[in-house]
Each structure stands twice: as structure tokens, then as C-alpha cells.
Structure 1
Amino acid sequence: MAEEANKLTLRRLEAPIHKFIKVALPTDLERLQKHHSNILKYQQSQQWERLHQEHINASRTVQQLRANVREMEKLCTRVRAEDAAALEALVRPVRDRASAAARDFLLLNSNPVPAPPPAAQTSSCASGSCGADDEVGEEPVSGRQIQLHLPEIPAEQSAAESWDNLEEDLKELSGLVTEFSLLVHSQQEKIDSIEDNVNTAAANVEEGTRSLGKAVGYKLAVLPVAGALLGGVLGGPLGLLAGFKAAGVAAAVGGGALGFAGGNLVQKHRRAQVDLQMKRLTAPPPPDEPEPSKDK
């Protein structure tokens, strides 16, 4: 609870969060989309050196994107749990975009076809098929469709190693986005748990107050009987010591009556005190008094 008290409302942190979800992250994602298009083009045309350089540039963008996601995550952890639902609605669009971008990138080489030899590529261009490919390449085709037609990167090319590095960066980005999603959901579960605990504690306090009232009532009910017994025990022997049997009996009876009456008086006094204490226990807390204004 002390940790929650140090957090801020979403309204206080909405402006810096907007800088990430409206400026920083969209800029990184647009740059990553350009790398994605270039990688498709260079890998289709088997321009391995240019593909290698594009892999390096894409890795830098992914690392910058990861850094911005981490910073936004730190900022979101400062938001109070009661604003978790509103925070989730605010960050969901850009978070889903980042997840989809990483997923599409990872599909690029998930099922590559062997690269054709240069002779076969030349003969295909001579037959006119190369021009047809260029026309197809101009149409907007998703990465999921194109990846089936991408040639495999030869193992001896630098582009193969740079792709491995880029793939690791993309996997880390995907895991980071998933963790961020779980973080926001856990904040919502936390506020739900706090509400449940508060309701349970209130019910336990109410039940405990009722039990306390019953126990005190039982204890007070014994007072008149105990007073009667004590009065009889003390009054009877006093009468016998005086030498009168009848007087001893009368003293015992009288002492019992006095003891019963005294017990009743004590019972009423204590019950009034207990009722006052029970009202204080069950009374709602007083409203906060406004601070007195200071004359300037």
C-alpha cells in the first residue's frame, strides 16, 4: 500500500506517455517498416551486400525501439493501479503495432526457397520472366506472402550473420512487448485484489464487532447472579455467628437480595459503557475537515 501511495494518477503522467505512443514509438515503427521493405527488395534481387547493411540498420532501429519501450514501461509502472484499464486502452494500439512489426520481420526467412544460380537467373531474364517479376514487385504484397518467394541467404555471405543478429534483436523486442502487456494486466489484477481485500477486511471487522458485543453481553448477564451468590455467602455466616439460626437464614436471603440488586446496578453501568464503545467502533469515520484558510 505504501508503494501504491507513491504512484501518480494517469492524468498526471498522460503527457509524457503520449510522447512515447504518439511520437517516439511511431517514428521507430515507420523506420522499421522501411527496413522491412528494403530487406524484401534486396533479398529478392540477391543483393547480399546491400542486404547485409540493411540488416545492420534494422538492428539499430530495433534496439532504439526496445529502449523506448523500456522507458515507457518504467513510466507506466508509476501509474496507479486504479487507472490500469485506462492505461491499457491508451497504450494498446502502439503496443500491437510493435508486436505485429516484430512478428512480420521474423517471418521473412521462416521458409526461404533456395537461391537460383546466376545462369538460371540470367536465362530467366532473357526469356522475359524477369520483367514480369518487376511488375509483380510493384504491387503491394504483405511480408507473409512474399516470404515464401524469398531466396535463401547463402551461408558464406555476411548477410546471413547479420540476419541472425537481427533475428535475436527482434525476438527480444517481441518478448519485451509481451512483458509490457502482462505488466499492464497485472496492475488491473492488483487493484481488483485490493478491492477484494478491503471488502473482506470490512466484513471481518463487522463480524468481530458483533462477536465482541455478544461476549460482553454474556459477561454482563452473570453479574446479578454472581452478586446474589456473593451476598448469600457473606450474609449467612454473619447471622450464624450472631447465634440466631433464623437470623442467619434471613441474613443469607437479605445478602443475596442486596447482592443481586448491586449486580444489576453494576450491569447497567457497564452495559452503558459497552454500548457507547460499540457505537464508536461501528460509527463511520468523520469527514475530513477543510483546512482553515490563511489570511494573506
Structure 2
Amino acid sequence: MSTESPVRPEQEYGPPVDIALAALAGGQHGLVTKAQIVAAGLSTSALSDRVKPGVLHRHHRGVYSVGHAALSREGEMFAAVLAARDGAALGHDSVAELFELQRGPSPEIHVVVPKRRTVPGVRVHRATLHPLDLIVYRGIPMTNVARTLVDLSETWTADELTYAIGEAAFHNRFSLDATRRAMDRANGRHRLHVLEEAIAEYLDGSKGSKSRKESAFLKLLKAAGIARPRVNVVIEGEEADAHWPDRRLIVEVDGAGHRRPNVKRKDARRDRLLTAAGWRVVHIDADEIVLEPDSVLATLAHAGLAP
């Protein structure tokens, strides 16, 4: 006859409150807040007892993951929103990252809050958000693309915004009307003209700057007083980094990838096609834009570009 005591459910699977928290976290990128933990029936001391053995892992003040410390990128973003508390939304570069409106991840997570708050390790922007500026995507409250473009106009160049608009349009996330309405609601913004310029460039066929090196090139031109080119527009079936239609001149900004043999062959074929169509093609090494800007300007001057 067995003398073993029967195993109760909470012994096999954990106390019911932990099961409830795990289920809740399952729908929240693995996260729960202190308020949710207390609402589930745990005291502050019981919460601390679960942090020590690693049942709960603290990511921000009052924000914990259940059962594991690692978070997905979306989990990190949601944790930042939760830490910023009521009324907070993911915004700015983080929305651009999530919707692939920029290349690569942002170094910081950005959230927008209605009142001044500080969240260590998070870039917090204070702003009033209209309900029409907000969406919930994959469970994360965030600004919609229209409002995000308005916010990004404060820090991004027109060419970077043009690229973002093009990517948003490709993914069916850009609405010109919605963007105009978001701009109308953004009272007091000082750089909406930058977004206006980006919209005009997009409607004119430009794809904007695709990389930081291209943006640096455009900033160098502006600082030198050289006429602004059209950027990433298709010519003769080929996309040109920058071109001046009136001069029949194309400038290609070549990063390290252009040193590969197969890319060199592709570039040479494109150059022959464009030259045959009456264009001059000049190649600039992307590293020289930052390291040797005077050399780049001299090359451009030789090609006929001067202030």
C-alpha cells in the first residue's frame, strides 16, 4: 500500500496565482505590472519572494517578466510603455523601427507621455496625443504612422522622411489625408515644413535617403551651398542615388558592399547604360564623405557642381 500523499494541482503546476500571472503575461509579451500582480492576489513581500529565485524578473520599476529574463524586441518596447504608465504610447523612432520605416534598430526606445516622466534607459517625449493619433499594434499602444511622421519631422531630415513615407506606402500604411490631418492637429510644431518637403519629394517620385551615408552626403551638399539633387529616383530603369536633371549628372554613393566583384559588374553595366543615355556618372566612396569631405567636394567641383 502506497504511503505517498496525493499531489495537489498547485504542487505540480505552481500556486494558482502564478498560473494566472503566467497566463496574463502570455498575452503581454511575457510581461506583467506590479498593479496586475497585486490585483492577482500577491502582496509586495510575496512579489519580492518571487523575484529572488527568478520566477519574476524586473525590467523597469513596476514591470516584470514571468519565468524568464529575455524579452523580444517588441517585449522591450512594451516594457518601456508599461514603465511610462497610463497614457503612454510607443512613438518616434521606435514606431519607425517596428514598421520598418528606417534601416536597422534604433539605439533607444522612444515613448510619448502626456505628463513629464522619467524612465531610465528610455527616451521619453512629452506630448498630448489625440485619440485619432493612436493605435494598438500587437498589443502595444503606439502612435500611428501619420502621427509618427509628424513627430519624426522634429529630428529627421526631409530625405529620411521621404524614405519612411515610401516604405510606409509599400506596406500600405501611408495615407496622405491622414498625415495632413495629423499635421493639422500638431499645433505649435516648428518643423512641419520638413515633412511638407518630404511629401512633395515622395509625390515627385523620390525614395529619399536609404542610409546614413546618403544623408551625410546630402548634408555635405547643403553645407557647401550646392544645389539639392533629386534622390533615389529611377532613371532609364535604374535607381540613381542622387542626380541633377539639368546637368545630366548622377552621383552614386558607394558603401563597402560596392567593392564586391558581382556588385562592381552590376555597377559597370548600369553606368554603361546611363552613359549611353546621355548621363555622366560619378562615384563617391561613402567613407570619404565623413573622413575626407574636402576631397568629395573637389570631385563634385570637377564634375561641374559648385555653390
Asked if these proteins are the same fold (TM beyond 0.5), I'd say no
Q: With CA pairs under 8 Å and 6+ residues apart, which has the higher RCO, 1 or 2?
A: 1
TM-score class, shorter: under 0.3
TM-score (normalizing by structure 2): 0.19
- Bigger radius of gyration, 1 or 2? 1
TM-score (normalizing by structure 1): 0.20
Q: Determine which structure has the larger helix proportion and give its number.
A: 1
